[in-house]
């Protein structure tokens, strides 16, 4: 799918991976609707990109449906949805304070897994209404997992479960949506320098990147954006979770 002329919803678009992806889409001639939390920098980011701003919370599962409808109306259609809203809550299965709290576990699943599935199913419904391009493509969904989906560290049990769920549903969703010309891919990053990791200390960053093959550094948001653009442009990329990790395999801690 060509970037020129495409219409994209960017969830988490006020910062980090999603913002960098929005910048690349606009630079390539596409249009973006930025969805993010009210208190984020979404309004400024949208204005700087000539895009539209739609405050929302992915945890408001019903409310975001209305916001997505509005965003698609404003864009005049939908070809691409990128979702990076997510995060974790640290804690061992059994810690000093007792077993991991189930409400905390559910909250991490809600934000990452249910939130992702909800936006995917809603965006797919809009994409299905569009005309296919010459290759029969109607849309591309790009989700965000983590290499913790495959080798979660001690204390990442909830995050690992949620991110593994995103990776696990990718091929099935691609199969579900294949007859409509909608592709689904997931990016699984290692440690990147974004808003989420702004509080990671230098020592911890060195520790978390020491097992990379090359380069041994934090990734840059634009490196995620470049993969997102490749996914959009290449029709043969489908149903896959692609590690973006410089050859890193997380150690247990
Ligand atoms: N940065 C990393 O090292 C790294 C590594 C692996 C995976 N991830 C994943 O990437 C995603 C975070 O993206 P980032 O690293 O660019 O961080 P970021 O904080 O720079 O951007 C995330 C954006 O998502 C928004 N967001 C968070 N919760 C939301 C909600 N409930 N509703 C709406 N918007 C919400 C935030 O306001 C923020 O603007 C998460 O899914 C995280 O698990 C990050």
Q: What does the DSSP 8-state code read for residue 131?
A: P
CATH of the domain at 196: 3.40.50.720
Strand runs labelled E in 27-138: 31-36, 52-55, 80-83, 94-95, 98-99
The verdict on residue 1 lying in a domain is: no
pLDDT at residue 109 above 90? yes
Contact 141, 175 (CB under 8 A): no
Q: What's the gap in Å between 221 CA and the centre of ligand 1? A: 11
The verdict on residue 252 lying in a domain is: no
**Residues within a 6 A CB radius of ligand 1:** 12, 14-17, 36-37, 40, 56-59, 84-87, 111, 144, 146, 189, 191-192, 194-197
**Tens of pLDDT along 142-176?**
999 999 999 999 999 999 999 999 999 999 999 99
The verdict on residue 253 lying in a domain is: no
Any idea what the Cα angle at residue 253 is, between residues 104 and 219, rounded to 5°? 90
Write down the pTM of the prediction. Answer: 0.98
pLDDT at residue 204 above 90? no
The verdict on residue 23 lying in a domain is: yes
The verdict on residue 251 lying in a domain is: no
Structural domain boundaries enclosing 106:
7-244
Q: What's the gap in Å between 14 CA and the centre of ligand 1? A: 9
- The yes-or-no answer on residue 224 being catalytic is no
Name the one residue in this structure whose structure tokens are 């093959």: 213
The verdict on residue 26 lying in a domain is: yes
For atom 25 of ligand 1, which residue has the closest CA? 12
pLDDT category at 58 given cuts 50, 70, 90 is very high
Quick one: average pLDDT of 104-112?
98
pLDDT for 208 equals 85
Domains: count for the chain: 1
Active-site annotation holder among 159, 192, 224, 250: 159
pLDDT for 154 equals 97
Q: What's the gap in Å between 215 CA and the centre of ligand 1? A: 23
**Tens of pLDDT along 228-250?**
999 999 999 999 999 999 999 99
The verdict on residue 151 lying in a domain is: yes
The verdict on residue 224 lying in a domain is: yes
Distance of CA 228 to the CA centre of its chain: 10
Any idea what the Cα angle at residue 24 is, between residues 88 and 211, rounded to 5°? 45
pLDDT at residue 40 above 90? yes
């Amino acid at each position: 799918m060509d970037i020129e002329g495409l219409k994209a919803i960017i969830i988490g678009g006020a910062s980090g991976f999603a913002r960098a992806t929005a910048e690349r889409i606009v630079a390539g001639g596409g249009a973006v609707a930025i969805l993010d939390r009210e208190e984020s920098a979404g309004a400024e980011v949208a204005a700087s990109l000539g895009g539209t701003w739609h405050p929302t919370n992915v945890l408001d599962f019903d409310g975001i449906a209305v916001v997505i409808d509005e965003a698609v109306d404003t864009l005049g259609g939908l070809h691409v949805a990128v979702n990076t809203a997510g995060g974790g809550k640290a804690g061992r299965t059994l810690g000093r304070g007792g077993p991991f709290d189930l409400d905390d576990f559910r909250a991490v699943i809600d934000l990452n897994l249910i939130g992702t599935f909800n936006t995917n199913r809603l965006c797919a419904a809009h994409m299905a209404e569009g005309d296919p391009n010459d290759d029969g493509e109607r849309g591309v969904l790009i989700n965000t997992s983590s290499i913790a989906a495959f080798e979660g560290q001690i204390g990442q049990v909830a995050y690992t479960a949620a991110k593994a769920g995103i990776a696990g549903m990718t091929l099935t969703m691609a199969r579900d949506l294949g007859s409509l010309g909608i592709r689904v891919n997931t990016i699984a990053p290692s440690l990147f320098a974004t808003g989420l990791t702004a509080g990671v200390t230098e020592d911890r960053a060195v520790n978390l990147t020491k097992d990379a093959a090359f380069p041994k550094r934090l990734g840059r948001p634009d490196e995620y954006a470049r993969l997102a653009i490749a996914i959009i442009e290449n029709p043969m990329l489908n149903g896959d979770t692609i590690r973006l990790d410089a050859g890193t395999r997380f150690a247990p801690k």
